[in-house]
Amino acid sequence: SQTIHQWPATLVQPVGSPLSLECTVEGTSNPNLYWYRQAAGRGLQLLFYSVGIGQISSEVPQNLSASRPQDRQFILSSKKLLLSDSGFYLCAWNLGQDEQFFGPGTRLTVL
Amino acid sequence: GQSLEQPSEVTAVEGAIVQINCTYQTSGFYGLSWYQQHDGGAPTFLSYNALDGLEETGRFSSFLSRSDSYGYLLLQELQMKDSASYFCAVSNFNKFYFGSGTKLNVKP
């Protein structure tokens, strides 16, 4: 069966510090991978998606970047965090246009 | 651009039926899906409609009208565990756009 891992579960970082969040998927090959951010009480904002190794599409210009070094690994990074980067970061995967499978998420607080 | 509208909050009693509406405007459209999210958790998939009509999965049903850019999620025989946020999402060629969510409060 397919599983998706994200770590860490929670993170508190100072403004201006770097960020690296990792997501890995097991049990599937060549999935589409996604990074979302959810502010408290809000919907999910699509940040990046990838249809293959090294292929990254950015939805929202910001100080975040993403990379896909391996088929089932997706990394979200920042060189310098802003207060507005706080939120619940969710990684997801799918194979088509219907169901997306979400990881457990990382709750990031930037102070 | 993409925009989805759904009510921010709905309250219903246990055992009742509730309908959560979603209207959308999108430059491309493959289908409409629904997700449930409990406080502190990740969203989980409920249903997907690519064609007009009603899809039924147990106590949950979802409807789509492509000509009206409209869909709804119908929850029957409400249970306390159905208290959660519900999101509609449109898919557009590998991209998914979510509404801001409807918080459902189920009361005894």
For B30, the closest of A97, A99, A102 (CB atoms) is: A97
Model confidence band, residue A1 (pLDDT cutoffs 50, 70, 90): confident
Q: Distance between CA A30 and CA B42 in Å, rounded?
A: 22
- Report percent pLDDT > 90 for chain A: 80
Of the CA atoms within 13 Å of residue A56, those in its CB half-sphere come to 19
pLDDT of residue B93: 83
- Chain B CB within 8 Å of residue A65 CB: no
pLDDT of residue A95: 78
Please judge whether B91 and A101 are an interchain contact, meaning their C-beta atoms are less than 8 angstroms apart.
no
Supply the mean pLDDT for chain B.
95
Model confidence band, residue A100 (pLDDT cutoffs 50, 70, 90): very high
pLDDT of residue A61: 66
Which positions in chain A touch B101 (Cβ < 8 Å)? 42-43
Averaged over A45-72, what is the pLDDT?
92
Specify which residues A22 forms β-bridges with. Answer: A7, A75
Q: Distance between CA A50 and CA A35 in Å, rounded?
A: 9
Q: Distance between CA A7 and CA A24 in Å, rounded?
A: 9
Q: How far is CA B17 from the centre of its chain?
A: 14
Averaged over A83-95, what is the pLDDT?
94
Does residue B1 have a pLDDT over 80? no
Residues B8-29 have pLDDT tens digits of 999 999 999 999 999 999 888 8
What residues have CB less than 8 Å from B85, skipping those under 6 apart? B36, B37, B38, B39, B101, B102, B103, B104
| Inter-residue contact A93 to A24 (CB < 8 Å) | no
Averaged over A47-67, what is the pLDDT?
91
User: For the purposes of burial, counting CB atoms within 10 Å of the CB of A8, is it exposed (0-12), middle (13-18) or buried (19 or more)?
Assistant: exposed
Structure token pair of residue A19: 């960020």
Please judge whether B87 and A43 are an interchain contact, meaning their C-beta atoms are less than 8 angstroms apart.
yes
Residues B45-65 have pLDDT tens digits of 999 999 999 999 899 999 999
